[in-house]
Structure 1
Amino acid sequence: MMKVFIFGAGYSGKAFARANAAGAQVVGTTRSLEKFASLAASGARPLRFEGQLTDGIAGELADTTHLVVSIAPDEAGDPVLSAARDHIAGKMPALRWIGYLSTVGVYGDHGGGWVDESAECRPVSARSRRRVEAERAWLDFGGELARPVAVLRLSGIYGPGRNAFVNLANGTAKRLIKPGQVFNRIHVEDIAAVLRHLAERETGGIFNVTDDLPAPPQDVVAHAASLMGVEPPPEIPFETAELSPMARSFYGENKRVSNAAIRREGFAFRFPDYRVALEAMWRDGNWADGEARSPMKRS
């Protein structure tokens, strides 16, 4: 039977645990004891990981067949490799596959052009440069172990509880206008499904996990507002917008990301673009937190 251990079982990891029709064992880590309840509710057995390999983690890793890493690297490198490299290499005899969740940020800026997995990585931010290094470290480590490693380069993640509806409802939605700027996105349920698809087939390689429709961010807000029956927020020129340095840095990278490689592996997206996804969440009433409810009435 498949046993999956997820280092860093946050938003995407919990989605994977919930979509467990095959009944695999799932263990996931978090840094916070306060998150144990929500992790357990998703179907994963929770453990705490703060950068050290505990006896509890080591015990669960002993018979793990599929390892998923969803923790960002820091200045010191990849935290999981730093803490558990020797253990993974020598004390995980059942290990058959490794999945590493990365970001399309590794491509940097391509002036709005299309990129696929063969494109040059031009990371702009320090965090994206660290991602490139971590990807390479895991791929090299997999080669040493003779185990397949799948690197999933994720676009901007959204889904229940994390979407334009929520931002409109709580008053934080903005329509920032930067001519020519587009972003790809990916629904969290499609991330979980890609992980399952690759894990079950024990497929390695680098894969963009992203939708079919790179689009200006203001279009997403406008579409969500239309579905809600509310007025969209006013347009704000990017140059005058109040943004955090991290938020502003995202707008310094402009590209259209292709998902052709994962489609060639036989994967079909449930939510191929933001319109399909928003309309489904609104129809199903699960946009706020994943629990079905009646949609907000149109004004």
Structure 2
Amino acid sequence: MHSTFGGCGYVGQQVACHEIADGGDVCALVRTVDSVAQLADLGITSRQVDFDQDVPVLALQLTDQVLYWFVPPPSHGDQDQRLARALAAIEPGALPRRIVLVSTTGVYGDCQGEWVNETRPLNPQTARGRRRAHAEQLARRFGQQQGIPVVALRVPGIYGPGKLPLARLRSGTPVLAPEFSPWSNRIHVNDLVTVCLAAARKVDPAPAYNVSDGHPTTMTDFFFQVADAYGLPRPPAISWAAAERQLSAEMRSYLAESKRIDNTLMKEDLGVVPDYPNLASGLGALDH
């Protein structure tokens, strides 16, 4: 299978390596020369392209390819102009056969701890969430206009090798006291890679899949479990009032949303049952 990767970082590299191992041809579109060199060391062909430029710097010929889109939206505004430019750069006569868009569960906004499946209306309440929802809208409109399946993967927090808050724990940064901490959701990177590959291959896929291990915990419990697994002191727990003073605006925005992600469709329709269905199993598989 031929595939093009918009962005090829922590998750994208692993998906790309699986595609290559499966006999596929892969090309990644990345922003920096350093990324081109890093991917070359992994055996991944790539091209440098900056989707922050107003005028597309290349014409994308993606005939019969899967376009994996990992590029995050810009860090400001309510729209994803990077994806808009990428879609505009696709040659009309050289369309991909499918787009797999990595989105976020943040598009649902605060759900007050309720279980959330894919039928829930999008209600992003942060600029970050609105940019992701805009990306889904852009991709969906493009797919409808061109007759191309678009699969949005709504992904929560990702953890795995090299993707744990160990530096934060060692610094003693506080967390919200357990009684105040909202529900949050996680997925092990290996399971996310499996989901991405399945989304590229599924016959008649759903338009969106929630991606999670299916066992939500609180944000505070996540930090406590990681600390325990690595023999680090648990971080101090503080009140909401103290969190307003001591935690970053970004962290406070995550703590302002509470939801439990239902992954039934991922398991029953996409056919992916997580190898790591909870934090304990995922953390236990990592080198400590």
TM-score when normalising by structure 1: 0.84
**Could you say which residue in structure 1 is the equivalent of 2:112?**
111
- The answer (yes or no) to whether the contact 2:66–2:200 under 8 Å persists in 1 is yes
Structure 1 outlier segments of 4+, above 6 Å: none
- The answer (yes or no) to whether the contact 1:211–1:271 under 8 Å persists in 2 is yes
**Counterpart Cα distance in 2 of 1:111 and 1:84:** 35
- The answer (yes or no) to whether the contact 1:173–1:221 under 8 Å persists in 2 is no
**Could you say which residue in structure 2 is the equivalent of 1:125?**
126
Q: Give 5+ residue unaligned stretches, structure 2.
A: none
**Could you say which residue in structure 1 is the equivalent of 2:272?**
267
The residue type paired with residue 159 of structure 2 is: Y
TM-score when normalising by structure 2: 0.87
**Counterpart Cα distance in 1 of 2:199 and 2:214:** 19
Q: Deviations over 1:248-298 (max 9, x none)?
A: 1111111111111111121111222211110101xxx2xxxxxxxxx4xxx
**Counterpart Cα distance in 1 of 2:36 and 2:219:** 33
**Paired-residue identity, %:** 31
**Counterpart Cα distance in 2 of 1:73 and 1:246:** 16
SS in 1 for 2:285: helix
| Aligned 1:199-214 pairs, distance under 5 A | 199-202=200-203, 203-214=205-216
> How large is the RMSD of aligned CA atoms in angstroms?
2.3
- The answer (yes or no) to whether the contact 1:16–1:189 under 8 Å persists in 2 is no
**Could you say which residue in structure 2 is the equivalent of 1:92?**
94
**Counterpart Cα distance in 2 of 1:187 and 1:38:** 23
**Deviation (angstroms), 1:31:** 1.7
* Greater displacement, 129-138 / 43-52: 43-52
Asked whether 1:187 is paired with 2:191, we answer no
The residue type paired with residue 4 of structure 2 is: F
Q: Give 5+ residue unaligned stretches, structure 1.
A: 286-294
SS in 2 for 1:121: coil
Q: Deviations over 1:219-264 (max 9, x none)?
A: 2222223222333222222331312212111111111111111111
- The answer (yes or no) to whether the contact 2:63–2:97 under 8 Å persists in 1 is no
In structure 2, the CA distance between the partners of 1:151 and 1:62, relative to structure 1 (3 Å rule), is closer
**Could you say which residue in structure 2 is the equivalent of 1:176?**
176
- The answer (yes or no) to whether the contact 1:62–1:91 under 8 Å persists in 2 is no
Asked whether 1:54 is paired with 2:57, we answer yes
Q: Deviations over 1:166-200 (max 9, x none)?
A: 543x4355432252511001122222111101112
**Could you say which residue in structure 2 is the equivalent of 1:14?**
13
